[in-house]
Chain A
Amino acid sequence: MSGVWHCAQLVIGRDLRLAFRNRAQLLHPLLFFGIVTTLFPLALSPEPSRLRDVAPGVLWVGALLASLLAIEFLFREDAQDGTLEQYALSGRSLTWLLFAKTVSHWLLSGLPLALASPVVAYGLAVSPGAMPGIVASVALGTIALSLLGAVSAGLTLGIKRGGALLSLLTLPLAVPLLIFGAQATARAIAGADMSAPMYFLAACAVLGITLAPLAAAAAVRISLE
């Protein structure tokens, strides 16, 4: 069993090291998130009460689009340089290796988005008391998003410039996450009990953890043919 954990460590370690050697890719979705969400107060009225009302929607649409941007890079480079091929031929479970890859992807995209969301929320006149709830909901939502993205990224690997198709494929399935994520954030801002939408996001994440790596591995195998 130790071999399995060691493998995951190596996959995640490699991705983290690469990300820190090439920080532009890391910052790109974060910058996008920041820019999109700061445009709203400029376009709408800067009235705090009004901003607070739209904050959940703005925050979540921004986070969703930023994650989509990041998902494109999930497998692309590994497919181009033959790393995925080596993973498929490593004698290890491809499902497990891709799960580890998705974990590192979340650490590099979803987690930073979650950690940046209080800054964005503060810009939208949200009171500091709501911040822990917001971070938790974005963190949970992006876990499910990363897993969902892994499947679509695997499916669109074989297609040149599959970016548009990737978004088209992922967005409809991400709509429930958007609805319940925004709901959770709205409740956090209102100071209400947010457990119902949080349970839903958690259920999506668990479903994703169990099924998405299997589907992603099957998709990657097909695209490697």
Chain B
Amino acid sequence: MSVHRLTGEALHVFRGERHVLRGVSFAAQGGEYLEVTGRNGAGKTSLLRTIVGLVHAESGRIEWNGLDIHRDARAFHAQVAFLGHESPLKADLTAMENLHFAIGIRRTIDATEIARALGETGAGGFADRPVRTLSAGQRRRVALAGVVLAAAPLWVLDEPATHLDADGHALVGRLVERHRASGGIVIAAVHAPLPVAEPGTRHLGLTSS
């Protein structure tokens, strides 16, 4: 298996009238973790949404394994697990059902695999409860199980540890380490640095305009 590679070159992104990203460049390859930091409104979320292709950059290009991500967007998306700052869960479904439907669209999956992932993220105890009865931190754990289950080489996470307790913070660090060890790339926008080893970690600081 060749090493995955994601590069962004001189990205300029506008949100309405605001010039949010002014010539941002970055690169990450398999086994690396790219930590995006910056103050509120510095454009972290915009950058992540641009990387996954939801937002189109005004200029500059993003390449996944040497190919522009918009060239074959569907093939690219099959390799990306994106977690926004809201956990994409249905309040009326249980954690198990949520992941069954959400991940099932991406790949075939069975209940034991979902249960195992939920156990890993510390969500095993409330896997069969409707998500509306869960706290924000518990929902985050369910959403993280979804990221693990997507089995995608590129993780793009927006504030993955938001709402999580200290133990959850360490959990996110462990998940990132494990994903890196398996040759994956993690890009995360964070306020507090994740507990991951420095080698193989790159930093991208965004300054507000």
Contacts and interface: CB of A to CB of B under 8 A. Distances in A.
Interface of A: 3, 6-7, 10-11, 13-14, 17-18, 21-22, 81-83, 85-93, 97, 224-225
Given A21-B92, A91-B78, A93-B74, A13 B54 contact: no
CB-based closest 6 A-B pairs = A91-B78, A82-B88, A21-B92, A14-B101, A91-B77, A10-B104
B52 interface: yes
A31 to B, nearest CB: 20
Nearest to A7: B105
A88 B75 CA distance: 12
B55 interface: yes
A interface majority secondary structure: helix
Contacts of A97: 105
A81 B86 contact: yes
A6 B108 contact: yes
A85 B84 CA distance: 9
A158 to B, nearest CB: 12
B102 interface: yes
Contact of B88 (A11, A18, A83, A91): A83
A6 B97 CA distance: 16
Nearest to B106: A90
Contact of A14 (B52, B55, B86, B90): B90
Contact of B54 (A11, A89, A92): A89
B33 interface: no
Contacts, number: 73
A81 B84 contact: no
Interface in B55-105: 55-56, 74-80, 82, 84, 86-93, 97, 100-102, 104-105
Contact of A18 (B54, B93, B100): B93
Nearest to B156: A89
Contact of B93 (A21, A86, A88, A90): A21
A88 B55 CA distance: 12
23 contacts: A6-B104, A10-B100, A10-B105, A14-B97, A18-B90, A18-B93, A21-B92, A21-B93, A22-B92, A81-B86, A81-B91, A85-B84, A86-B82, A89-B53, A89-B54, A89-B82, A91-B74, A91-B76, A91-B78, A91-B79, A97-B105, A224-B54, A225-B55
A82 B77 contact: no
A86 B89 CA distance: 10
B74 to A, nearest CB: 5
Given A81-B89, A82-B84, A85-B54, 11 more contacts: A3-B108, A7-B105, A13-B101, A83-B88, A85-B82, A85-B88, A89-B52, A89-B53, A89-B82, A91-B76, A93-B74
Contacts of B56: 225
Contacts of A6: 104, 108
Contacts of B108: 3, 6
